[in-house]
């Protein structure tokens, strides 16, 4: 049975971490692997009510289930067209919304030539029932019926457990790691959504976890040789 981690504290010798669990137990560890993921950061009201119910990050996880539905793709970054093209392959009834962010005229023209309506107004409200999205309301008063959608937010925040770490983060809030999953803090590693650009798939996160686990075992073996 697993335990819920409450806090990590680096020991004074910088060689061990003390781990406190929510049920009052504590352990010592030589290495820490952070795999607790990344959380979407957006100012869209009530976004969390629909996230992972019929509003998702990746068309590769839930795309087939939403095939042919009235979709919205919310992209708060400058890289809009690539994922929009993938989603358009699932449904011709697609709206692209930038939630107030700019899009180049060339990108807008390319999408609209395929019948994809682009809305750059801020999203005022998301409506639905029992966690299922039914429409999106924009600041200009326009309300558009949508059955489901996808989102690429401008930033993510890592859910780093405890206060004992000072790992470098990139501009999106993800933990900076080298090719082997080592962070800027000695003996702390990261894998999965916490350290790679989203959207990611479970199988890819598992793969990075295995790779970093091999690195940790190798580092320990070399240090003890």
Rounded to whole angstroms, how far apart are CA atoms 74 and 150? 6
Question: pLDDT of 167-181, one tens digit each?
Answer: 888 877 778 999 999
User: Which two tokens mark 85?
Assistant: 């093209």
Residue 76 CA to its chain's centroid (Å): 13
Q: Which long-range contacts (CB under 8 A, 24 or more apart) does 58-63 make?
A: 58/150, 58/198, 58/199, 58/200, 58/201, 59/83, 59/86, 59/87, 59/90, 59/150, 60/199, 60/201, 61/199, 61/201, 61/202, 63/87, 63/90
Q: What is the pLDDT at residue 220? A: 94
Contact in structure between 71 and 136 (CB atoms under 8 Å): no
Question: pLDDT of 48-74, one tens digit each?
Answer: 999 999 999 889 878 889 999 999 999
Measured over all CA atoms, what is the biggest interatomic distance in the chain, rounded to whole angstroms?
A: 67
Least confident of 74-83, 142-151, 189-198, 208-217: 189-198
User: Which two tokens mark 94?
Assistant: 């697609």
Instruction: Kindly calculate the radius of gyration of the chain based on its CA atoms and give it in whole angstroms.
Output: 21
Rounded to whole angstroms, how far apart are CA atoms 136 and 144? 5
pTM for this prediction:
0.77
Question: pLDDT of 89-110, one tens digit each?
Answer: 999 999 999 999 999 999 999 9
Residue 156 exposed, middle or buried by CB count within 10 Å (0-12, 13-18, 19+): buried
């Amino acid at each position: 049975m697993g335990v819920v981690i409450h806090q990590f504290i680096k020991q004074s010798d910088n060689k061990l971490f003390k781990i406190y669990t929510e049920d009052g137990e504590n352990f010592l560890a030589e290495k820490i692997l952070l795999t607790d993921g990344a959380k979407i950061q957006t100012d869209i009201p009530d976004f969390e009510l629909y996230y992972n119910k019929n509003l998702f990050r990746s068309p590769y996880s839930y795309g087939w289930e939403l095939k042919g539905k009235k979709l919205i793709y919310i992209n708060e970054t400058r890289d809009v067209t690539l994922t929009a093209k993938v989603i358009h392959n699932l449904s011709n009834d697609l709206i692209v919304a930038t939630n107030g962010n700019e899009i180049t005229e060339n990108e807008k023209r390319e999408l609209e030539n395929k019948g994809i309506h682009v809305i750059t107004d801020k999203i005022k409200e998301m409506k639905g029932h029992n966690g299922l999205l039914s429409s999106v309301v924009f600041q200009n008063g326009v309300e558009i019926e949508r059955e489901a959608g996808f989102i690429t937010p401008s930033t993510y925040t890592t859910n780093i457990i405890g206060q004992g770490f000072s790992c470098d983060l990139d501009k999106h809030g993800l933990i900076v790691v080298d090719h082997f999953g080592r962070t800027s803090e000695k003996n702390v590693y990261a894998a999965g959504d916490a350290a790679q650009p989203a959207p990611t798939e479970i199988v890819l996160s598992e793969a990075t976890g295995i790779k970093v686990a091999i690195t940790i075992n190798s580092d320990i073996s070399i240090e003890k040789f």
